[in-house]
Structure 1
Amino acid sequence: MRPFTYERATDVEGAVRAVAGNPDARFLAGGTNLLDLMKLEIERPTHLVDVGRLPLSAIEATAEGGLRIGAMATNSQVAADAQVRALYPVLVQAIVAGGSAQLRNKASVGGNLVQRTRCPYFYDTTKPCNKRVAGSGCSAIDGLNRSAAILGASEHCVATHPSDMAVALSALGAVVETVGAKGQTRSLSVDALHRLPGDTPQIETELTAGELITAVVLPPPPAGGQVYRKARDRASYAGGLAMAAVAGNQVALGGVALKPWRALKAEAALAAGASPSEAAKAELADAEDLGRNGFKITLTARLAAAAITQAQGGEA
């Protein structure tokens, strides 16, 4: 790990100014992803701004009937909250499915959303990776791409986004609130937060320099059942191969792209009277097989169909 300086932020405005004014500065909350990347010298910040103690961990009801979850709330705190458990069981299921209890006790909501890919070539600094070094190439396209994207990939990157929580938030239609370097605030949907790789896979979100996520806002829960399903190689300490979140008639997929994938084609098919299996197949009609990850197309289709069936009250 390279030397770095550290400061503990005392307010949001100071935190965003500190990071915006230094291109080599990073926010530090739980550190469950950033610190690992620093040890591997994938991330090389010269200055860390600790935002973990900012008063942004409250979980509060909104006037509209939803919830506002502070970005510094831990994953464990959210999963244990009575309001979240009563209104958004799909979010609870997704959080519990992600990482170990130790990680959930430290990981923050905001940090979970902006965690970086688990692509093995991203973590192997001896191999080319466009996300680490723009223009160096994508080793996964012709390499060990068993866990690679099947939707929304490009010739520059076939990585996937690792978050379980973000998939559930996408299905729920959640919005993130942010504060920018000049104190300006804005809201954008979870679906708009993350970017597909295109020809700039190193740019992963729509956040600007120094922009800090301060909260996630959930709309009132949709009518209907909520279900989260996940398939992985083993039950613990393994990333997901495919994930599916269903909230009423809203569906999102995980492990299939470099962002949580809102399954709009599946939703439209369901609205038109399609079966869960037909809807899942409609969403994955354009999925791409890179040679080793083709099984994920069938796996994701079956997983999504099972989740939809279960949410509709059937047996899956």
Structure 2
Amino acid sequence: MTSETLISFRGVAKTYPGATRAAVRELSLDIPRGRFITLVGPSGCGKTTTMKMVNRLIEPTSGRIVLAGQDISTIDATSLRRRIGYVIQQVGLFPHQTIERNVAAVPRLLGWDKARIRDRVAELLDLVGVPVDEFGHRYPAQLSGGQAQRVGVARALAANPEILLMDEPFGAIDPITRVELQDELLRLQREMHKTILFVTHDIDEAMKMGDLIAVFDQTATLVQFGTPDDILASPATEFVQRFIGEGTGLHRLKLRRVRDLPLRAAPEQGVPDAPRLPATATLHQALDCLVRTSADCLIVTEQDSPQPMGVLTFADLQRALREAKTPTAEDAA
């Protein structure tokens, strides 16, 4: 375990009573501080069990989990959970409490004074796009699924935990809202630098969200841990190769941003009717925009500014796709 490691799994295994196979097999894994980690794999592979052992909702059968140098088995479970944010697919908001009181739940338990709680709730609800003036007095049943999930994230962040556990948090959300929530969470992470463990069964979501990805196979074994690009370029096992599926070049276009490419200078007279795209967009989004609009090029802008940064053409994307092509065994021979 290095000084940058926040959570360390050391030979951790879990077998449920009466089960014929382990839910998690001999897991050894170091989680770096401040990184977004996605845990991905098929149903029953142990990813949720792994995550729940971090806040002791599930106790390991063997092995140790060390948090900031301390074995978590020596930490009072209730105190540990108050230090760790937790977001689940079903949100889990208290139905008979207002949104404001839901977000304030952990700070109240920690004994924060009322003014500090009020300020923190307002800050977080504004941050996740559910302003306290408009939504604070409402109840969970009065929110859409996407709004409720935003409140769930705000509640998990209320006491400013260093660690955030997220168990398929966007799995029950419609596709459009899901993308919006993914982007919002990535924006929050850029600002807050939390250590996030995010469970998903969706490889595209894992690739989009994770700085690092832990891939579990059907035997509940960790088979690869690395960056999205590393996993796409060099799958460790046949299972990982199958799980990623075809089209690794397109997967890589989803990982790279327009800002990563050298842009052509924008003509002084401009490009009439050319679509505009922020530099934070992925190359996959740029390709989609070119195909949908039948445009020859895109004007790339700063996130919140109409000022052109440069021009991106279809040829630029073709070159990026060629560079992203994963070498095959034939290529290597």
**TM norm structure 2:** 0.24
Higher CA-based Rg: 2
Which is helix-richer, 1 or 2? 2
